[in-house]
């Protein structure tokens, strides 16, 4: 998808990146906050660095180094510990709300913006 946007004329590409990245993040983030708790939103947003590395690798083919894998693992482990409140039996009671999904979409929009600008010299 990023490569398709990159083939647009320069001005159109900048508008598309701005709408998807900046506007998309803000609209989904604040809509998500209306439907989830601030704690859940903070936990999801704390995964942003790991999600940036992961999406950059999957979409753009950026090399994934050992230190990246370790960092992603530690990040997910920390968030999982907080979500489960230190008890694995809470795994079966874990549920995601509509707001949680919107916050995750906001993170993805932000990552799209970051990865696009970084890899296409915007």
Q: Looking at the domain assignment, is residue 5 inside a domain?
A: no
Environment class of 68 (CB within 10 Å of its CB; exposed 0-12, middle 13-18, buried 19+): middle
Give the pLDDT confidence of 82-100 residue by residue, as tens digits: 777 777 777 787 778 899 8
Q: Looking at the domain assignment, is residue 84 inside a domain?
A: yes
Q: Looking at the domain assignment, is residue 2 inside a domain?
A: no
Q: How many domains does the chain have?
A: 1
Tokens of 1: 């998808």
Give, as one character, the DSSP assignment of residue 91. Answer: G
pLDDT band at residue 2 under the 50/70/90 scheme: low
Q: Looking at the domain assignment, is residue 67 inside a domain?
A: yes
Structural domain harbouring 104: 10-117
Higher pLDDT, 116 or 75: 75
Rounded to whole angstroms, the Cα distance separating 49 from 90 reads 26
């Amino acid at each position: 998808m990023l490569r398709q946007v990159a083939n647009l004329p320069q001005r159109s590409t900048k508008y598309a990146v701005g709408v998807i990245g900046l506007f998309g993040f803000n609209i989904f983030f604040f809509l998500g906050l209306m439907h989830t708790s601030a704690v859940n939103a903070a936990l999801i947003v704390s995964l942003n660095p790991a999600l940036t590395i992961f999406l950059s690798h999957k979409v753009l083919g950026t090399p994934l180094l050992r230190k990246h894998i370790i960092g992603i693992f530690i990040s997910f482990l920390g968030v999982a510990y907080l979500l489960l409140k230190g008890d694995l039996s809470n795994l079966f009671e874990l549920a995601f709300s509509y707001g949680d999904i919107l916050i995750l979409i906001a993170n993805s929009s932000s990552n799209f913006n970051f990865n696009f600008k970084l890899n296409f010299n915007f």
